[in-house]
C-alpha cells in the first residue's frame, strides 16, 4: 500500500516502526529514524492523511498541556510493525517458534496495554450512555503534562470531565494485582487539578489486592473494574 501511495516507502516504514516500538513524540520518532523534526513532521502528516497514523492531544484540563503524540490507528498495523516487520529474516527462515517465544511473548503485555486502555475508554462511554457513572461526562481521553511540584512529566491513562466533575482512570494489563501504590499514585496526580468532585476508576486484568478492595469499599468515589459486565 505504501509503495502505491508514497515515493519513499522505506522511510515511511521506518517512521511507522519507530512508533510501533515505543516512539510517540515527534522528537523521539525523528531521532529513531535519523531525520530532522521538520522533515519527519511532513512524512507523519502524509501518514495521517493515509489514515495509518493519528495525532493525539491530551484532554484539556485546567492544567493544560499542548504536547501531542502520534499513534498507529489500526491494531493490526501496530502488531505487524512491532513484531513482524523487524523479524522478517527469522520468519522467512521458518523460525516462527523463535519469534513467538523470544520476540512476541515477552512484549505482549506491553503491546496489549494500549489496546486495553482503548477498551476501557469504550467501556466508560457505554456506562456514560447508560447513566451508570457518578455524572455524565462530556469529554474523555488521556492526559499528560508537566508536574511543577516534582518537575517531571506525568501521564494519566483516562480522564473524563464535565464542569467541576472529573474521573481519573488507571488501566493495568499485567499479571500482578493492583496494589495501594497504584491507587495512591493516581490520587497524587489528581492533586494537580482543581476540580470540586473527583472520582477514581481502576481497571485491572488481574484484580486487586485485598487492601485496595477494602479501601474502595469504604470510599464512595473509587470504582474497581476487573471484568466488563
Q: Environment class of residue 172 by beta-carbon count within 10 Å: exposed (0-12), middle (13-18) or buried (19+)?
A: buried
Q: What residues does each domain of the chain span?
A: 2-52+73-94, 109-225
The three-class DSSP label of residue 187 is: helix
Residues near 224 by Cβ (< 8 Å), separated by ≥ 6?
201, 202, 204, 208, 212, 213, 216
DSSP state of 218: T
CATH architecture of 109-225: 3-Layer(aba) Sandwich (3.40)
pLDDT in tens, 38-60: 999 999 999 999 999 999 988 87
The pTM of the full predicted model, rounded to 2 decimals, is: 0.86
Q: What is the CA radius of gyration of the chain?
A: 20
- Cα distance between residue 167 and residue 127, in whole Å: 13
pLDDT in tens, 124-178: 999 999 999 999 999 999 999 888 888 888 899 999 999 999 999 999 999 999 9
Amino acid at each position: 500500500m505504501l509503495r502505491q501511495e508514497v515515493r519513499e516507502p522505506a522511510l515511511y516504514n521506518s517512521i511507522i516502526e519507530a512508533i510501533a516500538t515505543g516512539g510517540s513524540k515527534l522528537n523521539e520518532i525523528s531521532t529513531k529514524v535519523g531525520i530532522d523534526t521538520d522533515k519527519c513532521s511532513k512524512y507523519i502528516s502524509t501518514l495521517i492523511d493515509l489514515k495509518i497514523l493519528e495525532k493525539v492531544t491530551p484532554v484539556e484540563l485546567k492544567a493544560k498541556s499542548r504536547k501531542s503524540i502520534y499513534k498507529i490507528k489500526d491494531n493490526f498495523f501496530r502488531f505487524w510493525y512491532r513484531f513482524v516487520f523487524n523479524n522478517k529474516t527469522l520468519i522467512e527462515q521458518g523460525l516462527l517458534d523463535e519469534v513467538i517465544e523470544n520476540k512476541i511473548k515477552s512484549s505482549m503485555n506491553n503491546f496489549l496495554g494500549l489496546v486495553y486502555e482503548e477498551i476501557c475508554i469504550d467501556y466508560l462511554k457505554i456506562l456514560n450512555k447508560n447513566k451508570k457513572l457518578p455524572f455524565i461526562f462530556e469529554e474523555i481521553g488521556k492526559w499528560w503534562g508537566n508536574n511543577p511540584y516534582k518537575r517531571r512529566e506525568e501521564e494519566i491513562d483516562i480522564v473524563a470531565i464535565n464542569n467541576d466533575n472529573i474521573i481519573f482512570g488507571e488501566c493495568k494489563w499485567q499479571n500482578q494485582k493492583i496494589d495501594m501504590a497504584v491507587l495512591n499514585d493516581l490520587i497524587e496526580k489528581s492533586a494537580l487539578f482543581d476540580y470540586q468532585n473527583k472520582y477514581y476508576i481502576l481497571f485491572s486484568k488481574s484484580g486487586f489486592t485485598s487492601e485496595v478492595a477494602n479501601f474502595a469499599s469504604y470510599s464512595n468515589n473509587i470504582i474497581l473494574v476487573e471484568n466488563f459486565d
